[in-house]
Amino acid sequence: MRMKQTKYRFLFCKNEEMNEFLTTNNKAGLWNEFLYSPNDFNFKDVILISVHPQKETVYQMSIYHEKFVVLSKQQDQWFGHDLEGKKNVKNFHKTRVKLIAYNNTLFSSVINNSETGKLSLANGVECSLFKEIAKRINITWDVYTSNDEDKWGTAHLNNTVTGGALKWLFMKRADVAFCSLWIEDTRLKFIDMSRFWTLMCLKFLVPKPQPLREKWDLLFKPFPLSLWLLVLFSASLTIITVRIMADVQKQIGYEQINAFTSLSSTIFWIVGMMLLTNNPRTNRMGPIRHLINWWCIFMFIMSTSFSSILYSYITSPEYTNIVLEIEDMVKANYHWGLTYPPPFDFIFQMQNPVHRAFIENFVPERNIDDRVDRLKRGQYATLAKCLYEKHFMETENVPAAILNDLRTARTCMNQLYIGFGFVKHSPYVKSANLVIQRIFEGGLIEYWLSRVTEARMSPATFKQVYEIKPHRNGGNRPSALSYKQFKVVMVVWIIGCVTSTIVFAVECQCTSRDRN
Q: Which of 293, 316, 339 is the last residue of a domain?
A: 316
Whether residue 209 lies inside any domain: the answer is: no
The tens digit of pLDDT for each residue in 376-396 reads: 888 899 888 887 766 666 656
Say whether both 139 and 229 belong to one domain.
Answer: no
Same-domain check for residues 228 and 141: no
Confidence of residue 288 (pLDDT cuts 50, 70, 90): confident
Same domain, 76 and 119: no
**Exposed, middle or buried by CB within 10 Å (0-12, 13-18, 19+), for 167?**
buried
Q: Say how far apart CA 322 and CA 458 lie, in whole Å.
A: 25
Q: Residue 423 domain-assigned?
A: no
The answer on pLDDT for 21 being more than 50 is no
DSSP 93-127: TTEEEEEEE--BTTTB-EEE-TTTSSEEE-S-HHH
Choosing from 166, 198, 230, the residue where a domain stops is: 198
**Domain shared by 257 and 312, yes or no:** yes
Query: Cα separation of 501 and 43, whole Å?
Result: 114
CA distances to 184, 316, 340, 416, 509 from 167, rounded to whole Å, are 15, 57, 18, 21, 93
Helix or strand run (H / E) with residue 406:
strand 406-408
Last residue of a domain, one of 271, 297, 316: 316
Say if residue 39 is in the same domain as residue 66.
Answer: yes
- The DSSP 8-state label assigned to residue 391 in this structure reads B
Cβ neighbors of 472 (< 8 A, separation 6 or more) are 479
Same domain, 290 and 231: yes
Residue 436 lies in a domain: no
Task: Specify if 194 maps to a domain.
Answer: yes
Average pLDDT of the residues in 502-508: 79
Q: What is the pLDDT of residues 140-184, one digit of tens each?
A: 999 998 887 777 887 777 777 887 888 889 888 999 999 888 888
Q: Which domain holds residue 75?
A: 8-80
**Together in a domain, 228 and 285:** yes
204 in a structural domain: no
Per-residue pLDDT tens digits for 429-486: 989 999 998 888 888 888 888 787 777 666 655 655 654 444 444 455 555 555 566 6
Overall average pLDDT of the 183-212 stretch: 85
Domain assignment present for 59: yes
343, 162 in Cβ contact below 8 A?
A: no
Note whether 171 and 147 are same-domain residues: yes
Number of domains making up the chain? 3
Per-residue confidence band for 256, with pLDDT thresholds at 50, 70 and 90: low
pLDDT digits (tens, 9 = 90+) for 307-328: 887 777 777 666 777 888 888 8
311 & 230 share domain: yes
State whether 304 and 255 are in the same domain: yes
The CATH number for 149's domain is: 3.40.190.10
Nearest to 356 by CA among 348, 367, 368: 348
274 part of a folded domain: yes
Q: Are residues 184 and 263 in the same domain?
A: no
Query: What's the mean per-residue pLDDT of the chain?
Result: 75
Looking at the fold, whether 192 and 100 belong to one and the same domain comes out as yes
Q: Is residue 347 part of a domain?
A: no
**16/238: higher pLDDT:** 238
